[in-house]
Structure 1
Amino acid sequence: MDEKISLRDFGIKCEDEEAFSAAVIALRALLKGDPTDSFAWMTLGNAYKVLSRFGDARSAMDQALIHASDERRWMVMTRRAAVEEKSGHHEECEAWYERAFAEPDFSESRWPHVLRGANLLRLERFADAERLFRNATELASEYDEDDNNEAWHMLGVSLLAQERLEEAAEAFQRALEVNPESDISRKQLDGLKQVEVVRKMIADDSLPKVDRLV
């Protein structure tokens, strides 16, 4: 199967669960003809993941990894990590990302760093997540339609979790510079500005006086 083929080539939209079930049938039929097609196994595993059939997803990804070429192993591992992330197994997810990043042919592209960093946030490993998001802001994208708005935004989230408010505000501002339409980055930045106003009022002892309730 051509590696550019995706579920959309089966007429499937991501929000259509019934269509993913149809994709499973189509992909399994395809794999009967060529059971060594790593990309088809990986696509099947992704369809199972969307359907929350995690055992089947893991089995399909295992087959994808067995048949993957050396330069594609890291990609299968990141997809397997996504299965563990969606199933709520965040430690296992990180273990798969660690393996993927250690592969000799690992591609230094933006999206694996952002996805791994997001999982590390769930593990409350905020400094490690910050490092990955910073790396992501410096990497080129493989896709023309992609930008690094998400990398900057997630960097802001990781800094916010560490209570580094000024740095977080700078990251959200950079996210907005990349994508002025990002409502979520704008809301985070506006919230931080309000916090700064209150902090300044506290420092200046200029908060409104409130009568004590007795």
Structure 2
Amino acid sequence: SFVDAILRVGGTLDLLKRLVANGFPTVIETAAMFEGYDWIGHYRVLVGYDDAFQLFYFYDSFLGVGADANGVTESYARVDNDWRAFNRTFIVVYHPDREALLRNILAEHWDEAAAAQIAFEAAQNEARSNPQDAFAWFNMGSSLAMLGRHQEAAAAFDQATSTGKLPWRMMWYQHGAFAAYFAAGRYQDVLTLAAHNQNTAPELEETHYWRGRVYEAQGENQRAASAYRRALGYNPNYDAARQALDSLSQ
């Protein structure tokens, strides 16, 4: 039988524990710095937890499954610190016949906008505690962009950048700044972000999509179509680029 999945932001450690305790496979997106690697984004599958020792257990594509396949361990504090670099994003996989239980566990997080608001408020509190917290400002921007508050989102992304503390790969993984700057009419800022990604990882399809959006907004439809095609060349399943390209030819 098929399964479904839900992606939300603004998760909490308690929510992760409730999900795994009820048998819901849960993936989180976190920061990682493995030996020999610079800062990267990384997905991990949560398989258990231990309140006595304050540990989560994960199956990890890089580190493996741990002793006796029980999972590799990470402290609650370390998990939350690494997780917040990605606005505490989590993905829950579930069978449709368990949706009612999942809705009950997620509560407000079931609603995408409510989850974004929760994430925004958490980030706002962190920024108030430490105004130089780049991740807090970035998460505020990402959450505000999800809520359609693009001018405020753009200002938060500006603040995150001004700290000088964002990892150089940040825009590889998270694209709320592209959306916010575009919606705010700050096209040159979108192109600047795109140029950074183009120079460091030209295969990122989102980079070409957002460049295409700017070209289209500026009336350069041929350049836009070329950018959308390039995005689709890297990811033929990228629906946003496909729809944008199709709309140009109508």
- In the other structure, the counterpart of 2:209 is 153
Please report the TM-score for the alignment, with normalisation by the length of structure 2: 0.50
The verdict on how the C-alpha distance between 1:119 and 1:6 changes in structure 2, with shifts beyond 3 A counting, is farther
- Aligned pairs for 1:50-69 (under 5 A) are 50=112, 52=114, 57-65=119-127
- In the other structure, the counterpart of 1:104 is 164
**Count of matched residue positions in the alignment of Structure 1 and Structure 2:** 164
Structure 1 residue 179 corresponds to structure 2 residue 235: yes
Q: How far 1:119 moved relative to its partner?
A: 0.8
Distance 2:117 2:220 in 1: 40
Distance 1:86 1:187 in 2: 20
Structure 1 residue 133 corresponds to structure 2 residue 133: no
Distance 2:149 2:240 in 1: 27
Q: How far 1:69 moved relative to its partner?
A: 11
Tell me if structure 1 keeps the 8 A contact 2:120–2:140.
yes
Tell me if structure 1 keeps the 8 A contact 2:134–2:163.
yes
The verdict on how the C-alpha distance between 1:91 and 1:149 changes in structure 2, with shifts beyond 3 A counting, is same
Distance 2:83 2:125 in 1: 6
Please report the TM-score for the alignment, with normalisation by the length of structure 1: 0.57
Distance 1:189 1:158 in 2: 13
Aligned partner of 1:165 among 214, 221, 226: 221
Secondary structure at the aligned position of 1:52 is classed as: helix
Q: How far 1:162 moved relative to its partner?
A: 0.7
Aligned partner of 1:120 among 165, 181, 197: 181
Identity level (%): 20
The verdict on how the C-alpha distance between 1:112 and 1:52 changes in structure 2, with shifts beyond 3 A counting, is same
2:197 aligned partner, one-letter code: A
Tell me if structure 2 keeps the 8 A contact 1:173–1:189.
yes
Q: How far 1:94 moved relative to its partner?
A: 1.0
Structure 1 residue 75 corresponds to structure 2 residue 131: no
Distance 1:135 1:60 in 2: 29
Tell me if structure 2 keeps the 8 A contact 1:113–1:133.
no
The verdict on how the C-alpha distance between 1:7 and 1:76 changes in structure 2, with shifts beyond 3 A counting, is farther
- In the other structure, the counterpart of 1:188 is 244
Q: How far 1:115 moved relative to its partner?
A: 1.9
The verdict on how the C-alpha distance between 1:116 and 1:7 changes in structure 2, with shifts beyond 3 A counting, is farther
Flag the structure with more relative contact order, 1 or 2, with Cα contacts below 8 A and sequence separation at least 6: 2
Tell me if structure 2 keeps the 8 A contact 1:130–1:159.
no
1:102 aligned partner, one-letter code: S
The verdict on how the C-alpha distance between 1:132 and 1:13 changes in structure 2, with shifts beyond 3 A counting, is farther
Q: How far 1:159 moved relative to its partner?
A: 0.8
Distance 2:130 2:81 in 1: 8
The verdict on how the C-alpha distance between 1:101 and 1:7 changes in structure 2, with shifts beyond 3 A counting, is farther
Deviations 1:37-96 (A, max 9, x none): 9749956799879452777554422333356697xx212211111232233322221111
1:65 aligned partner, one-letter code: A
